[in-house]
Amino acid sequence: MTDAMHDVTSQTVERRRRTRPGAIVWARSAAYEAAYWLITVIAALSCTLLAVFPSRKPIAWGLQMYGSAQVAALKHIAGISVEVRGRDRLPSQPVVFGAKHHSWGDGFVMLSQIAQLSFVAGDHLYKFPLVGRILNKVGAIVLSNQGGEDAQARLNAGIESLRRDGRDVLIYPEGHLSAPGEKHRYRSGVWRLYALLERPCTPVATSLGLGWDRQSFFKYPGRVVVEFLEPIGPGMDKDAFLEKLEQVVEDRTNALIAEGRAQ
């Protein structure tokens, strides 16, 4: 059997397995769903209390603990073990993280790994109770998917805050959750952060979608990877930067997916 035929066969088997989840997958997914909401409610209440402190550090610590608790629940309840690679590649200075986004799981990993992390988020998060205050306090840049002058003003204000405070910032350049092997157009917001902050951009690849695909209820046990890649130094023009970021993130993500499927 050729490599190409093997890849097609492996993907077909995977699709069939995922369309007919067994009793164990059902049970572990339901248990994780319950744990997810319990952890989230506790974290929301805790971070709301931490928001009363003048400094951002307490609430940022609370979010880091939230991410760590979710990663632990994924491992011990859902059976998804996350391996983090490439921390030795992280620069000592603040960076822009341009990451692949398979599910909320990769966001939890980033929160657990990076202290005092800021991030770009969609305004749909405001519909959840208490979340708006937490996002404002932690200094998240909350944008509408519709764009426009208001979104641009929020982005500019967020950039000034990041420049002043020297925090790392996470952005998902595609602006969408992607299934394993799927790709959307990389948007220019990541380049604006990179260019205006005059910082390196650290690409982040992942295979987490093999265990948690976008917003799926089902969680499939196994080992997945989130990997920090070689930073892209500051100073590149928009087209060259976006092309390079897309290439390195997509190529490495596809390699991690192939590695995961081969297990």
Percent of the chain scoring above 90 in pLDDT: 65
Cβ atoms < 10 Å from Cβ of 19: 8
E strand intervals along 79-237? 80-85, 96-99, 118-122, 141-143, 169-171, 201-206, 222-228
The confidence band for 20, taking pLDDT boundaries of 50, 70 and 90, is confident
Supply the pTM of this predicted model: 0.86
pLDDT tens, position by position, 104-128? 999 999 999 998 898 887 766 666 7
Q: How long, in residues, is the chain?
A: 263
E strand intervals along 45-138? 80-85, 96-99, 118-122
Report how far apart, in Å, the C-alpha atoms of 79 and of each of 1, 210, 222, 224 are.
31, 12, 6, 10
Residue 244's domain comprises: 3-261
Instruction: Provide the CATH number for the domain around residue 205.
Output: 3.40.1130
The total of structural domains in the chain comes to 1
* Residues 6+ away with beta carbon under 8 Å from 56: 116, 137, 138, 139, 165
pLDDT tens, position by position, 117-158? 988 877 666 667 677 778 777 777 877 655 566 667 777 777
Report how far apart, in Å, the C-alpha atoms of 197 and of each of 60, 89, 98, 158 are.
21, 20, 14, 11
Residue with structure tokens 């979340």? Answer: 131
Please tell me the predicted confidence (pLDDT) of residue 12: 43
pLDDT tens, position by position, 87-99? 999 998 999 999 9
| Residue predicted with more confidence, 175 or 227 | 227
